[in-house]
Structure 1
Amino acid sequence: MKLWSVAKLDKTKAGEIQSRYELPAIVAMLLQIRNITTNDEIESFLYNDSFVADPFEIKDMDKAVERINKALDCGEPICVYGDYDADGVTSTALLYSYLETIDANAMYYIPSRETEGYGMNKNAVDKLNERGIKLIITVDNGIAAAQEVEYASSLGIDTVITDHHMPSGELPKACAVVDLHRRDCKSRFKNLSGVGVAFKLIMALEGEYCDTTTLLENYSDLLSIGTIGDVVELKDENRVFVKHGLESITNTDRPGLQALIKDSGLTGKVISSTNVSFTIVPRINAAGRLGLSEKSVSLLLTEDYEEADEISSQLCCDNSERQEIERDILEKIDEIIRRKPSLVNDKIIVIDGENWHQGVIGLIAAKVKEAYGKPAIVISKLGGTAKGSGRSVEGFPLCDAVFACSDLLTHRGGHPMAVGLSLDPENIPAFRKKINEFADNFGKMPYDKINIDCKLNPAYINLDLLDSLSLMQPYGAGNPTPVFGLYNMTLRNITPLSGNKHLRLTLSRGNTQITAMKFFTSTEEFPYKIGETLDLAVNLDRNEFNGNVSVSVIVRNIKSSDCDTEKLLDSRTNYEDFCRGKQLDSSQLSDLMPDRNDFALLYRYLKNSSGYAFDTAILPHMLDNRLSFGKIKVILEAMRELGLIEFSDGMKTSGISVLPVNGKVSLESAPIIRKLREVF
């Protein structure tokens, strides 16, 4: 369950924006909600299609150009040193492709995620030295490679760093360190991806006669894929890159992208930032996650159509394999949680397992976070080492929590929303305890939210609305796809699709009836019945089929209209705090302490329903909100302790079975009730 949060709208300001720019009302509202309100901000957001700032605003760009030009003049062997994700792959392909066009003596190198890890490493430097490389240009990495840069220098190899990550200590002693987050860098726009920085480098190499429009025509396809893949804010220059890039991808003459579009099922469709994010980027990333990023670079560079088809097919297979690996690990995590539910009572969920593929644990952590609405860290133990990846909820700086445990870690890095770490396997329990102590001292933990831009009358859902919303595109970080709240909708019909993998819901309010898609949910997993009144958080998209165009309503989140999500989450927190031994006040304890009638109400419901198989957070609704969620959790645990039920609670569903009982059972004898009585 997520906290439903509807954005605050200043109708007066929205009206002023609408009048000033003669915009549709929905666009003016979204601009105001997203704090795009000044003339400069609005004009840049809506109308800037080409302006990109002078690359020499970035500190050390002049030094980078000087050293690279020296290599070009002398014919020195150059290596573009990249990274294995979509940003690193496109950065590598972009810069290497440009160097080829100016007849540089260039090669590229992508480290293996599994055997080498992120960034520069000394073994790679040795390999490049054997190949006679005299200049390394890093893209999307290098800011943390002080030792490796020094080692390369000792071998007679110079380094130019281009990166967009935060410096964490002393800057490497490279010929140039081009990073927007240097304290002494005065550039105005700081949120470029790695490929954005690489593009600014080729602008600088073009010099005073740089034709930015032509460069965008040549490279914006790569530029947009990396920018979208790295989830940087789609504002200012990034918005320019992606606007150009989406059009360029649609009309691409790169054989590799053509093959990838075909294999991704995008042929004939309008290319959007959304389908780039969910179809093209995962396929490029898949090779890196499984250890072979060179395939992705080769795909983007090849001019051979047969080779493009072959590599694209391999990437799609890699992506399918990655999905299967994810499913397998998620099933194992579900089993772990069912066996040890106390793990998810923690404020920060830390789950570990043996030999989980380290290329996907970040994706797994995101799904655990999504399931429980809490920061989650997933750790894979392999031999004598353990590596972890974490994802956070908005408002909680997970990197600070991880850095507070540095004495238990051999490596750590990241930012507020995502972290990576390494540690000795025997330190995992101590790490779990210490990071949760940090969370206890943090104060009230923020809840994971579904951010709703505005409530929407279903009668206003039409193609005209979609046309108006197109002014807000492209969507991405900092400008997410609008989420609309459809409230008090009556469920009229449920239709399973694609072998019961997805559902089509028919809903109505007043005289308006709509259909909405609930993807990746089966009828067995859907807890609501026809006739119930529901609230939906939805995205709107354009659907084209057999020449017909309609509005597609896609369900992002759903709840009963009588559900107060904040009250439910507060009650869940009370239960979890109690289970962890935290002292509660009288109102919190009252929220948890059930009486005999409460037991009877829940027991009768379970018996009459022949058990329960849905998310337990739906149970308050099933009981007409007569019991708090925390109280329900206490009763379920008590009944389990007393042998009245079998109960397991997983990531998506629970399993509650009522057991036969011989004789009377003393409810007060349940350990959890006795413990509650002691403190109440």
Structure 2
Amino acid sequence: MHHVTKVHFGPLLAEVRTKVDSKRPLLRYLVDKREGLRNIHPKELLSSDFSCLHSPYSLPDLSDAVELILSFAKAGKKILLYGDRDSDGVSSTCLLAFFLKSHKEFSNINLEVMVSSESDPYGLCKEALVKIKKVKPDLLVTLDFGSSQADEIEELTNTGIQVIVLDHHEVPVRIPTNCALVNPRRTDSIYPEKKICTAVLSFKLVSAILFRLSDEYGRVYVKTEVEEGSEKTSLVYFRNGIKIKEESLLSFSLDEKSILPYPEDFVTPIPVDTERKLFFYQCSKIPDFFSSLEEETDLAGIGTITDMMPLIGENRHFVKLALNSLTKLYAGDKKRKGLSELLRELKLSPQGVTTKDLGWSIGPVLNSAGRMGKTEEAVSLLLSETATDAKTKAKQLLSINEERKERTKRNMDRVERYFARKPERTTKEIVFCYEPDMEPGVSGIVATRMVDTYKKPAIFLAPDNGDARGSIRSYDKENVLELLESLSHHFLHFGGHPEAGGFSIQIDKIPAFEAELYDAAGKWLAQDKERENTHSIETDFTVLTEEMGERLLKEWKDLEPFGQGNPDIKLAIRNAKAIHLTPLSGGKHVRFHLIGSGSLKYMIWNKGEEFQKFMSGHGSFDLVGSLEENFYQGRTTLQFIVEWFGIAAENSTQSN
């Protein structure tokens, strides 16, 4: 509710319905406004299946990774999967482990699974290296870290350990040698998507292994294409679902008879490009290929949502496929016993698992184990082999999540008191908070809430095992890794994404770090010349109170899943009048109705007292927020979540 200086009101629904020539004008209008969606074929926008996914073989070093796993598994050599502690790390590790443990090809595999704990610094720290060397694996697969740790990987390879890295973080100039680095952000990557999470990379590795074990692997197909702008034709060759150059055929030792014609008559349910069509065609010829992969989509979708990947392109399809798979699992498919029991313990809606469930229920529970230093509890649950064991572990994980919530609440109380004592710190370019009594493990959540409150980049730091660990979150489009890089001489370790990073630091270095932070942040933010000094809200539509309801929500439901890159539909209401106001949690939150919108509930979180104070001086007001379905105690209801309230001018407002 704070710091809003401008509200851009979207058009009235009636205006859009009049001006947009479409059977579904609101949906068409929204799609055209969203760069990541507007050029997609309508069928691909509305539906998802495996034909929408790209061949994994365009990922760098993916083929090498497949061959390493197959050869080491066949030889009975020890394979160690070592994953990061967050939800993406846990999801990617368990996805690959579950496949290797359950597929008949790997029935005698010598496999061990490990994950980092909250007490470890990020990635291949010295503690991790000690653990790995103690296990003495022949093959190490790191999941969700490793791209930036060339020295550590080369230290391991020098001892005779072969390494595969599955990671999606930024790739530095120097990358590990003698290592299969599967990362779509590599400059030499031809994979069509750059921003996919590690759980999706695990899925890609699994699908590539299944394809490698089939007769379709290595087959070459040829297609005659008309060259653009002329009547000339040329031959285009494909292998493993990707285009290859004609000169590359020489390395395959093929004769003309072994080259197969492109399946021109084959029709995919959803129109896709030539490469995806061919790969789908090849996969459809492999017995049980898609049924084997369907259950692997669930963890790929969870990782995509919890790691805040943009929900456009392939990520959109992974989430939709995951929701279908999880809904089936929730309805009684017990193959993934651990995940199945977790869904039941969370008491989700029987009507189907939703994107909100992934981001607000399933993901946070899996994340909580790592935050509380108990990552192995999440892994143990997801790899459970019996329903009884899974039920016990699901309850344990939910208990850990409750501990995490309490710790977050205590830290947030301390943050509020901290800034109440030192309000001048909220005027800086970046909001920084550290005190010796802060509790570890939830720094990312607290930093995110600081950003939400102060509308600025934020750093939260807490003591942890003799040192301190911090999280930084961006507010707008700033790249936080650039700031961390400029201050890296203070850190023991640092890393992350452009939007979210983490670091560890010696406690006695914190004063010097903070002293340098504000000047460095000023220079960092000054580099972004287009950054606005004001916070504005863009709304999709301006809606009359009587237009609110389930019928309206259904008009854009096909745009789901909503999230990064495809935000939920933002609605504005003007000149609203509240009735039946009910304070919740001692006034911290508030629920009310609006005159004209029937029984629809409007919710304001964490700003209840401000709203009541505001209401005492205003008879009507403007609102910005989103419609959503809420499942609670066996009932699904519709509610409006308020993001902002105030008195707005036609296209601008002063902050309240």
Instruction: Confirm or deny a common fold (TM above 0.5).
Output: yes
Of the candidates 163, 187, 195, which is equivalent to residue 191 of structure 1?
A: 195
Of 228, 238, 244, 2:315 maps to: 238
Give 1:107's match in structure 2, choosing from 108, 112, 122.
112
Deviations 1:497-527 (A, max 9, x none): 5775642212236x97853122455558732
Distance 1:132 1:336, change over 3 A: closer
Question: Equivalent residues in 2 for 1:449-528 (5 A)?
Answer: 449-497=536-584, 502-508=589-595, 514-520=600-606, 522=608, 526-528=612-614
Change (3 A) 1:550 1:150: closer
- With over 3 angstroms needed to count, the CA separation of the structure-2 counterparts of 1:544 and 1:74, relative to structure 1, is closer
Q: Which residue of 280, 284, 302 maps to 1:225?
A: 302
| Secondary structure of 1:412's aligned partner | strand
Report the counterpart of residue 28 of structure 1 in structure 2: 28
> Which residue identity is paired with 1:391?
R
Q: What amino acid is the match of 1:34?
A: R
Letter aligned with residue 249 of structure 1: L
Output the amino acid matched with 1:518. Answer: I
The AA in structure 2 aligned to 1:49 is D
> Is the CA contact 2:603–2:642 (under 8 Å) kept in the aligned structure 1?
yes
Structure 1 pair 382–466 and aligned structure 2 pair: CA distance change class (3 A): closer
Q: Which residue of 2 aligns with 1:148?
A: 152
Q: C-alpha displacement at 1:544, in angstroms? A: 6.6
Corresponding residue for 2:183? Answer: 179
Number of the residue aligned with 2:83: 82
Number of the residue aligned with 1:6: 8
Q: Can you list the C-alpha shifts for 1:182-226, whole angstroms capped at 9, x where unaligned? A: 111111111111000111111111125455522432211112111
The change in CA–CA distance for 1:98 and 1:331 in structure 2 (over 3 A counts) is same
Q: Does the CA contact (< 8 Å) of 1:9 and 1:32 recur in 2? A: no
Partner SS, residue 624 of structure 2: strand
Q: What's the counterpart of residue 615 of structure 1?
A: none
DSSP-derived class of the 1:494 partner: strand
String of CA shifts for 1:12-42, please: whole Å, max 9, x gaps: x9889964xx552221121122125654365
- Give the SS at the match of 1:526: helix
Q: CA RMSD in A?
A: 3.1
| CA distance, structure 2, for counterparts of residue 49 and residue 417 of structure 1 | 30
Provide the C-alpha distance between the structure 1 equivalents of 2:576 and 2:490, rounded to a whole number of angstroms: 51
Partner SS state of residue 476, structure 2: coil
Which has the larger displacement, 262-271 or 90-99? 262-271
Unaligned runs of 5+ in 1: 569-617, 619-680
* Partners of 1:501 and 1:519 within 8 A in 2: yes
Quote the offset at 1:433 in angstroms: 4.0
Deviation at 1:405, TM superposition (A): 2.5
Q: Tell me what 2:123 maps to.
A: 119
Equivalent in the alignment of 1:55: 56
Specify the SS of the correspondent of 1:180. coil
Letter in 2 for 1:481: D
Q: Which moved more, 1:445-454 or 1:215-224?
A: 445-454
Offset of residue 123 of structure 1: 4.1
Answer whether contact 1:333 1:351 (CA < 8 A) is retained: yes
Is the 8 Å Cα contact of residues 8 and 33 (structure 1) preserved in structure 2? Answer: no
Task: Show CA shifts across 1:560-591 (max 9, x none).
Answer: 346986654xxxxxxxxxxxxxxxxxxxxxxx
What CA deviation, in whole Å up to 9, does each residue of 1:137-194 have, x standing for no partner? 1222221222222222232211111111111231112431111111111111111110
Residue 143 of structure 1 contacts residue 172 of structure 1 at CA under 8 Å; is this kept in 2? yes
Among candidates 364, 372, 396, match of residue 446 of structure 2: 364
Alignment partners' CA distance in 1, 2:566 and 2:337: 31
For residue 461 of structure 2, give the secondary structure of its aligned residue in structure 1. strand
- What secondary structure sits across from 2:408 in the alignment? helix
The secondary structure found in structure 2 opposite 1:169 is coil
Q: Which residue of 2 aligns with 1:305?
A: 387
- Residue 414 of structure 1: aligned partner: 496
Paired-residue identity, %: 29
Residue 522 of structure 2 is aligned to residue 436 of structure 1: no
What is aligned with 2:417?
Answer: 335
Do the aligned residues in 2 keep the contact of 1:289 with 1:359 (CA within 8 Å)? yes
2:621 to 493, 517, 534: 534
Change (3 A) 1:409 1:272: same
After superposition, give the CA deviation of every residue in 1:467-506 in whole Å (9 maximum; x if it has no partner): 2221111222111221211122112331235775642212
Name the stretch that deviates more: 23-32 or 122-131: 122-131
| C-alpha distance in 2 between matches for 1:361 and 1:549 | 33
Change in Cα spacing, 1:65 to 1:551, as seen in structure 2 (3 Å) is same
Per-residue deviation, residues 102-139 of structure 1 (Å, max 9, x unmatched): 3222121101121x222224444444444442101122
Alpha carbons of structure 1 residues 243 and 337: separation in structure 2 relative to 1, 3 Å = same
Aligned-pair CA distance for 1:73: 2.1
The C-alpha deviation readout for 1:585-611, integer Å capped at 9, x for no partner, is xxxxxxxxxxxxxxxxxxxxxxxxxxx
Does the residue aligned with 2:438 lie in a helix, a strand or coil?
coil
Change (3 A) 1:231 1:383: closer
Structure 1 pair 429/446, CA: closer, same or farther in 2 (3 Å)? farther
Q: 1:448 to 1:550 in 2, by over 3 A?
A: same
Residues 532 and 279 (structure 1 numbering): CA distance in 2 closer, same or farther, change over 3 Å?
same
Larger radius of gyration: 1
- Taking structure 1 as reference, are residues 193 and 517 closer, same or farther at Cα in structure 2, changes over 3 Å only? same
Once residues 258 and 33 of structure 1 are traced to their aligned partners in structure 2, the CA distance between those partners, rounded to angstroms, is 38
Q: Which residue of 2 aligns with 1:590?
A: none
Whether the 8 Å CA contact 1:391–1:398 is kept in 2: the answer is: yes
- Structure 1 residues 340 and 36, CA gap change in structure 2 (3 angstroms): closer
Any stretches of 5+ residues in structure 2 without a counterpart?
215-282
Q: Is the 8 A contact 2:369 2:400 kept in 1?
A: yes
Q: How high is the TM-score relative to the length of structure 1?
A: 0.76
Q: Deviations over 1:436-491 (max 9, x none)?
A: 22443444654455442222222222222222221111222111221211122112
Measured against aligned partners, the alpha-carbon deviations of 1:399-420 in whole angstroms (never above 9, x if no partner) come to 2233222343343333332222
Q: Given residue 246 of structure 1, which amino acid in structure 2 is its aligned partner? A: L
Taking a change above 3 Å as real, the CA distance of residues 297 and 410 of structure 1, as seen in their structure-2 partners, is closer
Paired residues of 1:482 and 1:539 also in contact (CA < 8 A) = yes
Secondary structure of the equivalent of 1:329? helix
The CA distance in 2 between the partners of 1:524 and 1:2, in whole Å, is 14
Q: Deviations over 1:67-113 (max 9, x none)?
A: 11211221111111111111111111110111112322212110112
Correspondence for 1:640: none
